[in-house]
A and B are shown apart, each in its own frame.
Chain A
Amino acid sequence: GAVVSQHPSWVICKSGTSVKIECRSLDFQATTMFWYRQFPKQSLMLMATSNEGSKATYEQGVEKDKFLINHASLTLSTLTVTSAHPEDSSFYICSARDVRGTEAFFGQGTRLTVV
């Protein structure tokens, strides 16, 4: 199956700093990628849809200035958590949709801890 790689797999940062998470489709092109967040023992919540070459579409209640998304190429989307706070600590997962199909493939996730 198609491979989606996230980097880093985990990160610890200080409050007030920004953290960038990368999502790459390794063996296919993805015009659309998706970012999800998962708090401990909870479900995955769709945060935003990342569209190559255009602005991301955010779900209701997600602060676009807080979670900056850039989808500069057909194989890379980045999520930047700006001015991170402890409440931003979470598991962030991306998925990427092959341009030729309908299935979206998930990355392995990034665990962010803000101290």
Chain B
Amino acid sequence: SQQGEEDPQALSIQEGENATMNCSYKTSINNLQWYRQNSGRGLVHLILIRSNEREKHSGRLRVTLDTSKKSSSLLITASRAADTASYFCATDRGSTLGRLYFGRGTQLTVWP
């Protein structure tokens, strides 16, 4: 990947369970974003967390950011089969130009 790594690379859970995905990066950042991608389709923006924020919530999503460890986590609570998708983190590497550098992604499968 251009920026860092997500782990796990694949995650398989049952509906109702929580899914946690982690992302690590290597450079300074202004913000970190999480995206979702259904198979073979475009990206859906989920959440943006700024470098001075530690935690952010949006519906069933909870994102944390630890800049000292250069890592972030995405938690999806009470997962649904419709949450099945690939999830990517992306950072700006400290640039304000809008370029994004993506991690390898986690393929989440939620079984009904």
- Give the secondary structure class of B's interface: loop
Q: Are the CB atoms of A102 and B98 closer together than 8 Å?
A: yes
Q: Are the CB atoms of B40 and A111 closer together than 8 Å?
A: yes
Question: Is B54 engaged at the interface, CB distance under 8 Å to the other chain?
Answer: no
Query: Which residue of A is nearest B90, CB measured?
Result: A44
Give Cα distance in the complex from A45 to B41, angstroms. Answer: 15
Chain A residues whose CB sits within 8 angstroms of the CB of B40 once the complex forms: 91, 111
Query: Which residue of A is nearest B48, CB measured?
Result: A103
Give Cα distance in the complex from A93 to B98, angstroms. Answer: 15
Chain B residues whose CB sits within 8 angstroms of the CB of A32 once the complex forms: 97-98
Question: Is B58 engaged at the interface, CB distance under 8 Å to the other chain?
Answer: no
Q: Are the CB atoms of B41 and A34 closer together than 8 Å?
A: no
Q: Are the CB atoms of B99 and A49 closer together than 8 Å?
A: yes
User: Of residues 18 to 77 in B, which have CB atoms within 8 Å of A's CB atoms?
Assistant: 35, 40-43, 45, 48
A1 to chain B, nearest CB (A): 8
| Known contacts A32-B97, A49-B97; A43 and B43 CB within 8 A of each other | no
B88 to chain A, nearest CB (A): 6
Count of chain B residues with a beta carbon within 8 Å of a chain A beta carbon: 22
B53 to chain A, nearest CB (A): 15
Chain A residues whose CB sits within 8 angstroms of the CB of B99 once the complex forms: 34, 46, 49
- The size class of the interface chain A forms with chain B is 20 to 34
Q: Are the CB atoms of B100 and A104 closer together than 8 Å?
A: yes
User: Of residues 73 to 115 in A, which have CB atoms within 8 Å of B's CB atoms?
Assistant: 91, 93, 95, 97, 102-109, 111
Q: Which residues of B contact A (CB under 8 A)?
A: 1-2, 35, 40-43, 45, 48, 88, 90, 96-105, 107
- Return 29 A-B CB contacts under 8 Å, by A number: A32-B98, A36-B102, A41-B107, A43-B88, A43-B103, A43-B104, A44-B43, A44-B88, A44-B90, A44-B100, A44-B102, A46-B2, A46-B99, A46-B102, A49-B97, A49-B98, A49-B99, A93-B42, A95-B98, A102-B96, A102-B98, A103-B45, A103-B48, A105-B45, A106-B42, A106-B45, A108-B42, A109-B41, A109-B42
Q: Which residues of A contact B (CB under 8 A)?
A: 32, 34, 36, 41-46, 49, 59, 91, 93, 95, 97, 102-109, 111
